[in-house]
Structure 1
Amino acid sequence: MLFDLTDLRLFIAIAELKSMTRAAERLHLSLAAASSRIKELEARFGVRLLYRENKGVQLAPAGETLLVHAQQFMQQVERLKSDMQQYNNGIKGHVRIFANTTAVTEFMPELLGDFLAKHPQVNVALEERLNHDIVRAVHEGTADIGIVAGDIQSPGLQILNFSTDRLVLATASAHPLAQSGHIPFAATLEYDHIGLHEGSTLQHFLNRIVAENGKQLKMRIQVRSFEAMCRMIEAGVGIGILPQSAAQRLSRSMRLALVELDEPWAVRERSVVVQQLETLPHYARELVDCICRWEQAR
């Protein structure tokens, strides 16, 4: 056997911490024992895995390759443990989801409520992240499932489209743009905008669109939710761009006008991103299925 699980856990910890000492402490090994394990790994593979420097350690090219395989191997081990947990009622499964703003605020709360009621043995961690962070986390294995909107290209990952949404402009009912049937995005830039916080996927996307055209949003205020955004819009503080699904829901209780945007990027595909669906624990596969059937179940 070229290695055992402790060897791989140690090597991954060294790569993360850039320190043999701190990695040994994490795994409750003596520094001598940790160093011996790495030397034995290098001897077995016949290559240098680490460069030992005064400020810590750096991965050699062979070490970078080993790290990729070690992470994938340990992910498989964790998935094996998760699948076997279904036979032990005393242990719960765990799914970590990174998702965009719309998913976190609009449909995942209801969807997860139904899913978790049917799966009391499963816990879920749901975090809002930017699209590129979501894709990277799934690729690296720090997230089991990603939910993104827009065009996503990521070789090596499975991308499952499950619905389509459109970005629309929301205005107060008396706003000059309220009677427009549809307008280009550029026509909104002369007005004050209400936006989401900078950490939101949607705000990051809109900022990029504006910057690519050499423009700048006249941002009057930024808030934490679509509901707060629409309340500001209803009060006449400014206008805002948000997903049509959220806008239509909120317009039922607020005096808002919704205007279509004449932009190809306004129509966005919603997708689930995973490494390999068949390698996910059974309960995570069921959750992916619930997400993909969400549009039809509404």
Structure 2
Amino acid sequence: MHFDLSDLRLFIHIAESPSLTQGARKAFISPAAASARIKSLETEVGNRLLYRDSRGVELTPAGQLFLQHARLIMRQVDYLKSEFTEYGTDAAGHIRIFANTTAATEFLPEILGDFLAERPGVTVDLQERLSRDIVRGVLDGSTDLGIIAGPVKAENLQVIHFSTDRLVLVTPKDHPLAGRQSIRLAETAGYPHIGLHEGTTLLRFLQEQVAENGNSLNMRIKVYSFEAMCRLVESGVGLAVMPDSAARRHQRTMNLAVIELNEPWRVRERSILLRDLEALPKVIRALIDRLQTYGLEDSGS
């Protein structure tokens, strides 16, 4: 088989677009030319890759597999270019990261702020995703690395543990539970809760934990950040479960009580997911080193 890199990039554009026309526009060619090149690809692989109709395009099973390999090939091409930019240093390049809620909103902005300030030639695409989407993104090559909390179920991936956090309960200082040293989550069922918005990893995780015991949380309001959660807790709107690192940071400026959760799942291991560390450009390996350094500092080592 022979594949042109421009055809692979075109296929990716079309697969990620609602229509062949829009995919062709991203590749700066006409729809007719794009259609001809896709037909040539299908002939080359001996399988139909796309279903095309008036509503747009849809990948066939063979197309899904082809997309996965095309992404990986183009990612490696981008890595090759990055390695030879600035003579293979970590001073330039582009990094795409899929991360869970805590990473994307709490510690990554600080880490990336310092990292990017030292490297003006580096750009980053940081996207908050659910755990399953993070794993899938690393596997299919749509992201360079993933940052996840909790157990990881993924074959063919390298997992680098870099820090540990735990979930705690946050209440107003004058709340009836505020004096407790530890508490079971089920004991809070009679109180209103504040959670992160629908679709976040932490909300899904908590819902799964309480559902296993046949319970549910009285979720009064869902917001988009831990800071917003803490402000609402301080105002007496409800209780919140969040990572201890976030709770302690906001406790410095707000009237909050932080209570240990007496649950086996409270400890959350943070891990970096990737396909092959040695195959990554120096700039990405430098970021991984920075994350590991952060983990050591965060644990007090």
Q: TM-score normalised by the shorter chain: which range applies? A: 0.7 to 0.9
Q: For 1:169, give the aligned amino acid.
A: L
Mean Cα deviation higher: 123-132 or 287-296: 123-132
| Residues 1:144 and 2:173 are matched in the alignment | no
SS of the residue aligned with 1:78?
helix
SS of the residue aligned with 2:231?
helix
SS of the residue aligned with 2:269?
strand
Q: Under a length normalisation based on structure 1, what TM-score does the superposition of the two structures give? A: 0.87
Mean Cα deviation higher: 58-67 or 123-132: 58-67
Mean Cα deviation higher: 183-192 or 17-26: 17-26
For residues 147 and 247 of structure 1, the distance between their equivalents in structure 2, rounded to whole angstroms, comes to 20
Bigger Rg over Cα: 1
Q: Determine the structure 2 residue equivalent to 1:119.
A: 119
Q: For 1:212, give the aligned amino acid.
A: E
| Residues 1:240 and 2:213 are matched in the alignment | no
Contact 1:173 1:255 in 2 (8 A): yes
For residues 59 and 100 of structure 1, the distance between their equivalents in structure 2, rounded to whole angstroms, comes to 28
Q: Say if 1:60 and 1:171 are closer, same or farther in 2 by CA, change over 3 A.
A: closer
| Per-residue Cα deviation, 1:16-53 (whole angstroms, up to 9, x for no partner) | 447555544443334554444344444444x2334665
Q: Determine the structure 1 residue equivalent to 2:128.
A: 128
Deviation of residue 62 (structure 1)? 4.5
Q: Say if 1:263 and 1:279 are closer, same or farther in 2 by CA, change over 3 A.
A: same
For residues 254 and 53 of structure 1, the distance between their equivalents in structure 2, rounded to whole angstroms, comes to 56
Q: Determine the structure 2 residue equivalent to 1:164.
A: 164
Moved over 6 A (4+): none
Deviation of residue 235 (structure 1)? 2.9
Q: For 1:202, give the aligned amino acid.
A: L
Q: Determine the structure 1 residue equivalent to 2:78.
A: 78
Q: Determine the structure 1 residue equivalent to 2:48.
A: 49
Contact 2:183 2:260 in 1 (8 A): yes
Q: Determine the structure 2 residue equivalent to 1:273.
A: 273
For residues 38 and 222 of structure 2, the distance between their equivalents in structure 1, rounded to whole angstroms, comes to 50
* Aligned residue runs from structure 1 range 112-261, under 5 A: 112-261=112-261
Number of residue pairs the alignment of both structures matches: 296
Contact 2:88 2:282 in 1 (8 A): no
Mean Cα deviation higher: 72-81 or 175-184: 175-184
Mean Cα deviation higher: 247-256 or 117-126: 247-256
| Per-residue Cα deviation, 1:52-82 (whole angstroms, up to 9, x for no partner) | 6545665555444433322211111111112
Q: For 1:213, give the aligned amino acid.
A: N
Deviation of residue 278 (structure 1)? 1.9
For residues 95 and 151 of structure 1, the distance between their equivalents in structure 2, rounded to whole angstroms, comes to 24
Q: For 1:250, give the aligned amino acid.
A: H
Contact 1:2 1:41 in 2 (8 A): no
For residues 110 and 22 of structure 1, the distance between their equivalents in structure 2, rounded to whole angstroms, comes to 36
Q: Say if 1:169 and 1:59 are closer, same or farther in 2 by CA, change over 3 A.
A: closer
Please, which runs of 5 or more residues in structure 2 have no aligned partner?
A: none
Deviation of residue 14 (structure 1)? 4.0
Contact 1:185 1:261 in 2 (8 A): yes
Deviation of residue 194 (structure 1)? 1.9
Q: What percentage of residue pairs aligned between the two structures are identical?
A: 54
Contact 1:48 1:60 in 2 (8 A): no
Q: For 1:189, give the aligned amino acid.
A: A
Q: Say if 1:231 and 1:71 are closer, same or farther in 2 by CA, change over 3 A.
A: closer
| Residues 1:289 and 2:289 are matched in the alignment | yes
Deviation of residue 187 (structure 1)? 0.6
Q: Under a length normalisation based on structure 2, what TM-score does the superposition of the two structures give? A: 0.86
Q: Determine the structure 1 residue equivalent to 2:102.
A: 102
Compute the RMSD of aligned alpha carbons. 2.7
